Chain A
Amino acid sequence: MKKNITINLCGRLFQIDEDAYELLQQYINSLRSSFGKQEGGDEIVDDIEARIAELFDELRQQGIEAITIEHVKEIITRIGKPEELAGEEGEKAQNNDHKYESFQTAAQGIYENVRSRTAGKKLYRNPKDKMLAGVMSGLAVYTNTDPIIWRLLIVLFTLCYGVGIFAYIILALIIPEAKTPEQILQMEGKHVTPQNLADMMVENEEQPIQRPSLIRMLFTLLMKIVIGFTVALLVVLCLTLSISFLFALIATVSAFILPLNSTMPFSLETMGLAGVWINNPKVLAIFIGVLFLALLIPIYAIIHMVLSLTGKIRPMGIVQRIVWIVLWIAAICTAIPLGFTITEYRDKYYQEHYIREDIATYQDIDMSEEDADFLRRGSWDIIKADYCDHYTWCGNDYLGNPNVRFLDTFNEKCEEVFQAERKEKVEPGIYELSCFGRAEGPGAFVYAIGNEKMLQSIPVNEGTVGNIGDGWNRIIIEKITVTGDSIVYGVSCDKAFTGEPCRAKWFSAMDFKLTRVEDAPTKK
């Protein structure tokens, strides 16, 4: 008893046994793949299909109701096997065989050996004997060896820093599985003929189960345990990796969109990667490019796989698979370090431009907390403060101490107008003011006001060498005569005060020290 189905062939309905249908399907498919490449190939196969329908019709007229596998075999012999119809190509292949046989060298002998083992075979993953994806047994069938050898090899490679696992995954992705009976025949190096296909289908139904030896069974069990552990480990690893990849993605996206600091307004300038874009547009462009690649390739691969599973398009060839995988790995390997670099750039930009955001006020001037704190402790009075980027700085004082803060101002276009001073109560006498200062250009002064205004310009050393180092100079204002009860001293670059325009982008001053030199001169 056999299951029977109805098929529609060229608009006519026929009753056909299931196995006969399978064989017919295989036959037409193999015709399609053999004629597919040539011009009008589909038309040829359609015509042959019409002929088959006609022959079926003849059978029906003879009173045969259901078409059996014998009938189909007969029709296939009558119409001819694909290689009989292909004609000239077959002859060429034979000529090649003769050529190979004529080579006699030892190297050629080895080549011959490998070739004869793999002759006429196609590398597929073997679905008939598989532990995971059938890669190793596919290789074994291809090279005509025992799968145990390959399995041991991959385990050994896995012990070397897990190389084996990656090799296995890549091989499993590259090598297609032998799904159709036609592919299984190609895998085993048998010719795709209707006879072989029919034989294989019968074999599938009545395959005798071979009892493997005890050692082999033990080995298989051991392998299965090892594989189980490895797969469980990999699943955990993949899960962790994909979660962290997701987080990284969210972080990247939010770095693009969200402002650097939650208190900042939402604008183009405050956007996370705006700074990176300004300073390193190339790096950011490459990063966005590879990120897209890293995301789009798997999406494309999944769409391609779904479409090829539903039979809409052909599955990818091996070369295509390799190209995509290499591209994808390259994209990931580029994206990860670039991502770190960009995060660094972003934080640096943030540090430089926004960390001193005006969040404190000192004498009605908005400034950073550090600035306000320093000025308050030093009882500095801000006389003038226009276009100043900041008021204090730390990190490179004349002693090289990174934590010491000092007066400092900055404006990229030398437009800053800054004057800060403080008052000290003193006994009348003659005083000397000493301090340290540095300036990027001329026009910055240290001053002291006792009985009269005394100015001393800050020498320009462009921040490279100075009397003390790092552009710093010792500045002394001598003979400050005081008859009153206080001295005012400080720094200024205000043209209205100093009489000289400021051409310094920045200047710094620190360690102001007043020393009493002698008593006040008696009034004459």
Chain B
Amino acid sequence: MNIENAKSQMRKGMLEYCVLLLLEHRPSYASDIIQQLKNAELLVVEGTLYPLLTRLKNDGLLQYEWQESTQGPPRKYYALSKEGHQFLEGLDTAWQELSNTINYLKNVTPKLLESK
């Protein structure tokens, strides 16, 4: 098990949550999302986003509409649906719990070692 593999597994798990977060407040089109994710150093290859978007859309969490663009052809703007918002709330809670767990483990383990 190498570090790259582990990292990519973690990223894969996070990607869905991150995309939903990005779309929470304003609709964006695919290239926007890619740019944001790249800035956050979450995306290795751009192509992985497209199957994800399609899956989320098919699951009813996302919806899109076509918007004219000043440069080039019309673009698909993705936004969260009602179910998407509910789903994201669920993920938020889950993330909070996970984050607490990790923090707890990180802080507690050294203390335990010190006390022995």
Contact = CB atoms under 8 A, between A and B. Distances in A.
B11 interface: no
B46 interface: yes
Closest 6 CB pairs of A and B: A80-B45, A80-B47, A79-B47, A40-B54, A85-B47, A47-B50
A38 B54 CA distance: 11
A87 B8 CA distance: 11
B58 A11 contact: no
Contacts of B44: 80
Interface stretch (A48-56, A284-292, A432-440, A514-522): A48-56
Interface centre among A38, A54, A57, A87 (most CB of B within 10 A): A54
A84 interface: yes
Interface centre among A11, A50, A77 (most CB of B within 10 A): A50
A39 B58 contact: yes
Contacts of B45: 77-81, 84-85
A38 to B, nearest CB: 8
B46 A44 contact: no
Contacts of A40: 54-55, 57-58
A329 B30 CA distance: 55
A324 to B, nearest CB: 36
B71 interface: yes
Contacts of A11: 73
Interface of A: 10-12, 35, 38-40, 43-44, 47-48, 50-51, 53-54, 57, 77-81, 84-85, 87
Nearest to A54: B31
B85 interface: no
Contacts of B72: 10, 12, 53-54, 57
Nearest to A84: B45
A51 B31 contact: yes
Secondary structure class of chain B's binding surface, majority of residues: helix
Contact of B73 (A12, A80, A87): A12
B46 A79 contact: yes
A47 B53 contact: yes
Interface in B22-76: 30-31, 34, 44-48, 50-51, 53-55, 57-58, 71-73, 75-76
Contacts, number: 61
B73 A48 contact: no
A44 B51 contact: yes
B73 A50 contact: yes
Contacts of A54: 31, 72
A43 B31 contact: no
A80 B47 CA distance: 5
Nearest to A31: B47
A85 B51 contact: yes
Nearest to A38: B51
B53 to A, nearest CB: 7
B51 to A, nearest CB: 5
B48 A57 contact: no
Contact of B50 (A10, A44, A57, A87): A44
Given A35-B51, A47-B50, 15 more contacts: A12-B73, A40-B55, A44-B50, A44-B51, A47-B30, A50-B75, A50-B76, A51-B30, A51-B50, A57-B71, A77-B45, A78-B45, A79-B45, A84-B48, A87-B48
A12 B73 CA distance: 8
Nearest to A46: B50
Given A39-B58, A47-B53, A57-B72, A80 B30 contact: no
